[in-house]
Each structure stands twice: as structure tokens, then as C-alpha cells.
Structure 1
Amino acid sequence: MKNNPSKQKVIDAASSLFFQKGFHGTSVRDIADKACVNVSLISYYFKSKQGLLEHGVTQYYETYLKTIEDTLQQSEHDTELSRLKKLIETIIQYRQNNHQFSCFILRELSLDSVFVREMAVTYIAKENYYISNAFFAILGKHKKQELDRQFLLMQLKGMLITPYILQNEWKNQVIGEHSHQMFVRKYVQTIHEWLDFIVAD
């Protein structure tokens, strides 16, 4: 992907505009103007705005899931808690590195649409499998009630998406690469402390 600068410029421009204006509020002309390319180039590479969206989402999630799988494989000999903490750090780091598209995708996933249903049966189900397995592994016998386990899992998932659903709450604190990395460190630490608390409970 990076070997084709024009194509990547279009993807980057679309990511920025989808984040700012939403998918339906962004036109192909808007994307072409921001990327400084002809509209015909977008048609050539992606056929349509929908095709561009599908390409971007596929690229995002395939890289994301590969990153998760690599982390789980590299930490397979760690304790369950250490493994989950590394997984959480990987997820937040990836979303922060792809901040605008992460915000856009997670915002769209909060809506009931064909886009949501398509994502749910492919990428989201796989993501949920990895997170749930790693999380339930740390609970062991600490939480015997299934309802407790599900509530705690829901809390964890909420913490993983909150900065990207409520990005306006963070926008003044996260400016520039250094503050992005500071945010990752501090936010991951907060989730890690929550995990230590529920395991000790």
C-alpha cells in the first residue's frame, strides 16, 4: 500500500474527512480535492466512495487483527494477566496510531447499519473472541457468576473504545506525537490498574 503514494494519499484524505464529516457528509470530490488528485483516479483505484470505505476498513482491521495475533503469540508463555495487559497495550497503541480512522469506525459501529452488520460477522467477531478469551483466562475462579463475568467484560470493552467514541473529551489533551504516546502510557496504565483490582477482589 505504501508503495503507491497516490493511492495512499487518497486513503489518508478519506480517513481525515470521514473522521471530520462522516461517511455520508463526505463526497468523492472532497476526497479528491484534499488528496490533490483527479476524481477519476479514485474511480480507477476504488470504483466508488463505498469501495474506498471497504478498502480502508479491510486494511485497518486486517492489520489490527494481525497485530493482536502477533502479540498473543509472542506472549503465549507469559502469565494470563501479563498476556492480557500486553494485548490491551497493543489495542490502544494501534487505535492511537490510527486515531482518526479508529474514531470514525467505532462511531459507525455504534449505529445500526449494513456497515455494522457486515463488520460484526467478520472482524468484530474475531476481535471479540481474542479479547474475551484473554480476559476470562485471568478471572479463573475469582468470579464464579457468569453475569459478573459478562459485566466485567463489558466494562473492559467500554474502556477500550471510550477514547475513540468520546474523542471530543480528549482532543485538547492529545496534540502531536508526544502527547499521543503519553496518552497511550497513561490510559493503558489505568486499565492495567483496573485489572489488578478485579483480580485481587
Structure 2
Amino acid sequence: MKYPTKQKVVDAASQLFFQNGFHGTSVRDIADRATVNVSLISYYFKSKQGLLEHAVTRYYETYLETIEETLKNSESEQPITRLKQMIETIIQYKQSNHQFSCFIHRELSLDSVFVREMAVTYLAKENYFIKNTFFDALTVSNRNRANDHQFLLMQLKGMLITPYILQHEWKDQVIGERSHGAFARKYIKTIEEWIDYVIKSG
């Protein structure tokens, strides 16, 4: 890690944004949680908004790079296998960044302008990857109804974000790092079973 103190500030902010929301968190709160001087946050990020922009950018750029790498490494696989590998990558990434994933999805579900404006380009790229990979798998299954494709895509995208919008519904199942891993594996399996059902019923 090139800037461990900078990362410590980002981690502290992620925890507090998750717990208290963006507006319910002050720069002083972040400095106290990270055990750094307030002036250091100004030095690195200029402002709380700058810190949020940095965190959102880093989250989505790493996320999309991870998806791209998965798709690139699975080019020779069957479309349904590629789809499942992409789903696994998405859930594993979101679960390993659980608090910030919950914060972002919560803000997007509230149509938070300040998060949506930052994330809009990334969301478009994410949608492109998910849509194309899913539709490739559906095409192989001989599903030719375009309207059907759109409804199924909406269902898939809903499953990918549900644990992070309704995190309180799942909190009893996720306690500690090992539990995060177990939850991810179980949830990935649930989505894969849905995919198998959709493809076979096509």
C-alpha cells in the first residue's frame, strides 16, 4: 500500500458513511475514527465530497476491472459458464467491500444525486457487461423474446443488489470475515440455480 494513512482515512469514511450516511458524517468524525489530524483529510481530499468522490471512483474502477478480467479469462468458455463466473466475481467483490457496497446501493436506491452523478458512467458500463453476458447465455438457450429478456435482466440485476440494499434483512447471516465468505458462496449458488432454471425453461 503506497499511502497507508490515506487508505486508513478511506476505510474509516466507508464505515461511517455506512453507519450514519454521508450527511450524518463529519470530517471530524472521519479523522477521529482514522486517528489522524483533520488537516490531513483536507490535504489528501480537499473536502468530504472529495473523499467520497475518491472512494466511489476507486470502488467502481476496481470493480469494473475485476469484471473485465473475468470475462477476458473466460472467453473460451460456454456463455452460461461465463455468466456464472461473472456473477461470482460481482458478488465476491461486493461482499468483500460490504459496507461501501451497502452505502452506495442505499444511496442509489434513494436516487441520491450526489452519488448517482459520480457513478453514472460506471453504472452504464456495469449494465453493458451484465446485459451482454446474460443475453448471450439466453440466446444459446433459444430464448428469442426480447421482452422476456428485459424482464429476466431486471430480475438478475435485482438479485445482484438485494443483499446490499436490504442489508438489515441479512445481518444475522453475516458476522465476521468467514461468514462473509460463506454468505457469498451460498448466495452465488442461489443465483446460479435461478440461471439454470431460466436457461432450461427457455
Taking structure 2 as the reference length, the TM-score comes to 0.96
The Cα shift of 1:146 comes to 1.6
Residue number in structure 2 paired with 1:82 = 81
Kindly report the root-mean-square deviation, in angstroms, between the aligned alpha carbons of the 2 structures: 1.1
Report the AA paired with residue 107 of structure 1: R
Residue number in structure 2 paired with 1:18 = 17
The Cα shift of 1:116 comes to 4.3
The Cα shift of 1:172 comes to 1.2
Residue number in structure 2 paired with 1:145 = 145
Kindly, what percent of the aligned residue pairs are identical?
Answer: 72
3-state SS of paired residue (1:170): helix
Distance in 2 of aligned mates of 1:116 and 1:28? 18
Residue number in structure 2 paired with 1:176 = 176
Aligned residues: 200
The Cα shift of 1:142 comes to 3.2
3-state SS of paired residue (1:26): coil
Distance in 2 of aligned mates of 1:131 and 1:27? 36
The Cα shift of 1:99 comes to 0.3
Distance in 2 of aligned mates of 1:82 and 1:145? 22
Residue number in structure 1 paired with 2:120 = 121
Report the AA paired with residue 85 of structure 2: K
Residue number in structure 2 paired with 1:107 = 106
Residue number in structure 2 paired with 1:193 = 193
Residue number in structure 2 paired with 1:155 = 155
Distance in 2 of aligned mates of 1:7 and 1:106? 24
Residue number in structure 2 paired with 1:28 = 27
Distance in 2 of aligned mates of 1:123 and 1:21? 25
The Cα shift of 1:92 comes to 0.1
- Tell me the alpha carbon deviations over residues 55-107 of structure 1, each in whole angstroms, 9 at most, x when there is no partner: 00000000000000000000000000000000000000000000000000111
Residue number in structure 1 paired with 2:5 = 6
Alignment of 1:57-96 (within 5 A): 57-96=56-95
3-state SS of paired residue (1:101): helix
The Cα shift of 1:6 comes to 1.1
Runs of 4+ in 1 over 6 A off after TM superposition: none
3-state SS of paired residue (2:144): coil
Distance in 2 of aligned mates of 1:83 and 1:108? 30
CA contact 2:106–2:165 (8 Å) conserved in 1: yes
The Cα shift of 1:115 comes to 2.4
Q: Which moves more between the two structures, 175-184 or 55-64?
A: 175-184
Distance in 2 of aligned mates of 1:43 and 1:63? 24
CA contact 2:104–2:115 (8 Å) conserved in 1: no
Q: Which moves more between the two structures, 82-91 or 139-148?
A: 139-148
